Amino acid sequence: MRKCLRTPAMKLFTPLTLPNGAVIPNRLAKAAMEENMADADHAPSDALLRLYEAWAAGGAGLMLTGNVMVDHRAMTGPNGVVLENDAHLDRFRQWARIARAHGAHVWMQINHPGRQMPAALGQTTLAPSAVPLELGALSKQFPVPREMTAADIDDVRELFVRSAQLAEQSGFTGVQIHAAHGYLLSQFLSPLANRRQDQWGGPIENRARLLLDIVRAVRQAVSPAFVVSVKLNSADFQRGGFSPDDAKRVVELLNPLGVDLVELSGGSYEAPAMQGQARDGRTLEREAYFLAFARDIAAIAQMPLMVTGGIRRRAVADQVVDSGIAMVGIATALSIDPNLPRDWLAGKNNAPALRPITWKNKVLGSLANMAVVKFQLKRLSQGRGTHPRVSPLRALLMQQMANACQTRRYKRWMMGRELG
């Protein structure tokens, strides 16, 4: 059984050797953020490449892409990147080359939204069970999903494997299988979203079956040097949902499968704990939201762990690695300051933060938070400075207008594929 190689005192700027022998140059990772910057073919756009050029120069040892969809019919948003065949592999190769230019590892996050796909896209929504999202007045923006058949489940497994193979062919150094934040694999893990009575439902061993099958199949389909990682919720932060004990059990089940790293996060569209909000009464720390859960899981994990969620200060990042967690995932702070790792290495104590959003409607607040982050990403992709004090309402309105235009473009693209 492969063992994680750890240094005696884990520091931010020491290398990390993964179980498969790959070496990450430091412990700081740009965690995934949904960029929604595809070109007209849903391949990486020039804007996306410029964004990763900025991050590549910033000094992170690892960069995780925003989610890349494994199926063009199943999108988290209308302008997402899709990798399901080799039609535009030259664009993906260019993306990998730019992102790796300064020595970082670059892993493609591969994902399927399940029921978290906007109704406006006009596609059939699949999920483990026909359980709709509960988002109050916004619930109608997501359709009631169709329960997946055994054939649907087999198709999804093969789609993940194909995307992983194509990511390796494109020059990425690994993939991250997204099983967190309420997307499809996370839905299978959740007893609230997964009410099946067959081999994919019931006890956690059954609810984890699809994730485990995908991990096994991907590990077998790619080379030993190619990293296979998993993003997992430490909890869903909903009463009756995926629990910390469930997370520990899933990590135990992943231990013998050749996983090189597990990133721990939390929450979903219904309970956006990844933004510091919970719905089950728990209070999350202002930074490193999921560190306490990670320490617990580290006791049984045989692969390195990474924690993401709210980290923006060097002292907190140091606390994470000093507690035995191998990697520090940073998202929002790197949307504001892409040079943060380089600055920390130089001894600076930058702590970038967005303007607080204190709206009473937590779902709208969550959407505004995502819109403010995307506002920063767009500016970086244009070679401009970021604007962390932007009005959340302004950012949200701009994002809604962009979504409407992109949704029309996506539907025209889908029609062209069907006619072609």
What are the CA-CA distances from residue 8 to residues 2, 16, 17, 314 (Å)? 18, 12, 13, 20
pLDDT tens digit sequence for 4-44: 444 433 599 999 999 999 999 999 999 999 999 999 999 99
Tell whether 3 is covered by a domain.
no
Tell whether 378 is covered by a domain.
no
Tell whether 381 is covered by a domain.
no
pLDDT tens digit sequence for 47-95: 999 999 999 999 999 999 999 999 999 999 999 999 999 999 999 999 9
pLDDT given for residue 42 in this prediction = 97
User: In whole angstroms, what is the distance from residue 249 CA to residue 240 CA?
Assistant: 16
Q: Which of 65-69, 74-78, 235-239, 373-377 has the least mean pLDDT? A: 235-239
For Cα atoms 79, 80, 81, give the angle at the middle one, nearest 5 degrees: 125
pLDDT band of 288, cuts 50, 70, 90: low
pLDDT (average), residues 382-394 = 96
Tell whether 364 is covered by a domain.
no
Whether 280 shows a pLDDT value over 60: the answer reads: no
pLDDT band of 3, cuts 50, 70, 90: very low
Tell whether 380 is covered by a domain.
no
Q: What CATH number does the domain containing 32 carry?
A: 3.20.20.70
For the chain, what's the residue count?
420
User: In whole angstroms, what is the distance from residue 162 CA to residue 70 CA?
Assistant: 8
pLDDT given for residue 240 in this prediction = 76
Domain that holds residue 156: 16-357
Whether 301 shows a pLDDT value over 90: the answer reads: yes
Tell whether 156 is covered by a domain.
yes
Whether 294 shows a pLDDT value over 90: the answer reads: no
pLDDT (average), residues 346-360 = 91
Tell whether 417 is covered by a domain.
no
Tokens 């994990």 label which residue? 301
pTM: 0.93
Structural domains of the chain, count: 1
Strands 62-64 and 105-111, bridge-based pairing: parallel
Tell whether 5 is covered by a domain.
no
